[in-house]
Every structure is written in C-alpha cells, then in structure tokens.
Structure 1
Amino acid sequence: MIQRFFSSQAGKPWLRTLALAATVAATVYLMWQSGEPPVPDPEAAQLRGPAEPDGFVVGADYRAWNEQGTLEIHMTSPRIEQFDHDSSARMTDPRARLFGEGEAEPWIIEADAGSLLQSQGLMHLEGNVTVLRTSGDSQATLATEALTLDNNEGTVFTDLPVTITEPFGTTQATGMKAWIDQRILELNSRVEGQYETVR
C-alpha cells in the first residue's frame, strides 16, 4: 500500500470538497423532509410499487451561499428521486461546482448517477466519476467509475481503478481510501506513476 500525504501540488482539497458535496446532497434530502413528516399511505405505496419514488424533482438547480453572500455550491441534476422506505435519494447526471474560500475557480464534480443513503451517511457516485480542480493554468483530475463518501467516518473510497492526473504526471492504482480530516490518501494496489521532471 502506498500512503500519500497531500502536497501543495494540486492541493488535494478535493476530499474536503467531496465532503461538501455530500453535505449538499444531504441538504437537498432534508429539504424534502422538512415541515410535517410524511404519513405513509400503504395503498399508495402498493399501487406505486417499491421501485417508484415517493417524490422527485425535475431540472434540479440548487445553490448555496455562505454568510457573506458568496456562492459556495451550485449543484444540478436533470432528475432527483426520493424514496421514503430507505431514506434514500437517487440523482441522474449530478454535477456540482464547489467554490472554495479564496479560490478563483470552482471544483467540478460529475458522475452519471449518484445516490444518497441518509440514514447511513453514505453518498455513492457511479459512472464516469470525475473531480476536476483548476488553479491558474494547471488542472488536476481524479477519475474512477465509482466513488463512495462515508460522511460518518470522514472517508472517501473505491475498490475500482483510479487515475489521478496532475500537471506533471499521472498516477494509476486499483482502489483508494482517503481520510478527509487527516488529508491522507492511500492507494491500495497496482500503483503506477509517470512523471515529467521540471526544468
């Protein structure tokens, strides 16, 4: 196993950013649950069937600002479906732009699909998952087919291949786990890297 401490190159605050994305998803879910708690209707659930959502949003476009009125999060999804029986939400093509304090460019997180299991504190992103960080003229990208954020444990992980592309090189590995607060990234196996020297 290789353990990497986050360096100044590309900053690696994408882990913190993913935690922020999970918070956004949780906020969206809580918006549905606000007010009076829903009263389950057994007849409606039986007619609808277990695969159909209890509620949905089409053309979701959520924005959140900090106390100073600065945009922090802009999240979109063509469709978000909410399921009461397991306190989950499913997102189609989720895309989030996350603005860090003092950063000119937002972090961009995209996936083909996403799901939030509120009761377990888990957010899964699946299919062409990318985390893009732009800083000045340089970009850093993390790409994988699935990524899970465990908000309770403060970790981000996957067992699938991961590619991290930075301005001067690329690292590939099978599986990774990251601890958000400690800012530690552990690549599990088959780690390969190609780097250019700076002249």
Structure 2
Amino acid sequence: MAESTQDSLLSRLALAERPGLRMLALAVTIAAAAFLLWRGNEPPPPSSSSDARQLRGDAEPDGFVVNGRYTSYDENGQRKVVFSSPRIEQFEEGGLAIMTSPSAKLSGQTEDEPWIVNADKGHLRQSDDLLYLMGNVRVERMIGEREATLTTESLTLDNQQGTAFTDDPVTITDNLGVTRAIGMKAWIDERILELNSQVEGRYETVN
C-alpha cells in the first residue's frame, strides 16, 4: 500500500512539473467521458423485424410505393388484373398491401374491353390474391354495344377464381334503364353477372 501511495504522489508531481502532459491527460479524460455519455444515450439497434415493428408501431407500414402498379396473371401466363394506385403501403406481416384510390382493369379470356374498376381504397392480400375494394366502388363494362356502370360500397376481386362479388346493395345503370339489387357475383371470363336478391328495375320503352 505504501508503494502504491508513493507511485501516485510521484505521478502527480510529474504532471505538476509538465503542464503539457497534464493537459493531454485532461483532454483524454474528457473525451472518454463524452464517448461514454454519447453511447449511453444511443438506443440499441433492433435485433429483428419484430423489434423494429414494436418501435415503429403496428399502424406504420414496413414500406410504401408511390404510383405503384400490380399485375396478376393466370396459369397460362395471360394477364388477368392490372391495378394502380398513387400510394401503396406494404405490411410484411400477413402479406397485406393497402392502396389509396385504386384503379383496376379486369381482363377476361376474350378480346372484349376490360372491366374498369375504381374505389376510394383497397386492400390486397397477396397470399390468396384477393383484392378488397371499399368506398364508392364503380365498375364500368361493355354489354354488347352499350356501356353499363355498376356502383356499390364494397367489392371483392378473387384473382385466382376470376370472380368479383359483394353482399352490399348494387345499382346498374345503362342507356336502357336502372337495375337495383342486394348482392351480386360476376364471372369475368364468361362476362356473366348474377344478382342475388331483391332485384328491381326501371327501363325506358324503345319505340
């Protein structure tokens, strides 16, 4: 203990006699303290995607695409669905994509004009290729030589089965009149639309 005390006193005397050395030691001490304080305030990096999700929050997407475009093909490589959106938010968990103001073109096996679908928002579940459209859903299609418009509040597009369906009220308008019903199902390839229940229509008489 005596030797340790004597060495400490000698070190202090050496520093007192050499101001440059004393300033260098002080600078090293301050730098070490600043480094420790900086490292102490720095949050640890997330160790996994789940940790990152906890920091980010469940409501925040894992990524997003501006002016995105998505194309779905059938087993023969023919294009079935093309939709676009000014903003698509992607969530890795569940394979979910949320779209703002989606617009879709649905093509059948024939060379007829595609169905044009627009809505306020949409959810794409990529695992089973289901597209859910919600809010002011509007479908425009050609029936022979006349154009028809279907409006409803929700619509599900099953890209694998080539169908579109809803349980909500629907209104179909063309140049001959208006048809209303509760629920419908459409087969895109066959160009068939089936109304479920409470079907009523008003048509203009053609002279």
Same-fold status (TM-score > 0.5): yes
Question: Does residue 155 of structure 1 match 2:163?
Answer: yes
Larger of the two Rg values belongs to structure: 2
Q: Give the distance between the partners of 2:193 and 2:114, measured in 1 at CA.
A: 21
Unaligned runs of 5+ in 2: 1-47, 73-79
Matched AA of 1:87: G
Distance 1:106 1:155, change over 3 A: closer
Structure holding more strand per residue? 1
Question: Does residue 176 of structure 1 match 2:184?
Answer: yes
Question: Does residue 111 of structure 1 match 2:149?
Answer: no
- Give the match for residue 21 of structure 1: none
What does residue range 38-49 of structure 1 map to in structure 2 within 5 Å? 41-49=49-57
What does residue range 1-199 of structure 1 map to in structure 2 within 5 Å? 41-60=49-68, 75-96=83-104, 107-133=115-141, 138-199=146-207
CA-CA distance at 1:106 after TM superposition: 6.3
Q: Give the distance between the partners of 2:104 and 2:194, measured in 1 at CA.
A: 25
Distance 1:185 1:136, change over 3 A: closer
Question: How many residues align structurally?
Answer: 155
With normalisation by structure 2, the TM-score equals 0.62
Matched AA of 1:119: S
Q: Give the distance between the partners of 2:183 and 2:198, measured in 1 at CA.
A: 9
Distance 1:52 1:124, change over 3 A: same
With normalisation by structure 1, the TM-score equals 0.64
Contact 2:106-2:188 at 8 Å conserved across structures? no
Structure holding more helix per residue? 2
Q: Which has the higher contact order (CA 8 A, sep 6+)?
A: 1
Cα deviations across residues 62-113 of structure 1 (Å, max 9, x unaligned)? Answer: 799xxxxxxx98743221011110001010011235688766x764321000
CA-CA distance at 1:180 after TM superposition: 3.5
Distance 1:113 1:143, change over 3 A: same
Unaligned runs of 5+ in 1: 1-39, 65-71
- Give the match for residue 17 of structure 2: none
Distance 1:186 1:124, change over 3 A: same
Distance 1:49 1:76, change over 3 A: same
Distance 1:107 1:189, change over 3 A: closer
Q: Give the distance between the partners of 1:89 and 1:132, measured in 2 at CA.
A: 24
CA-CA distance at 1:45 after TM superposition: 1.5
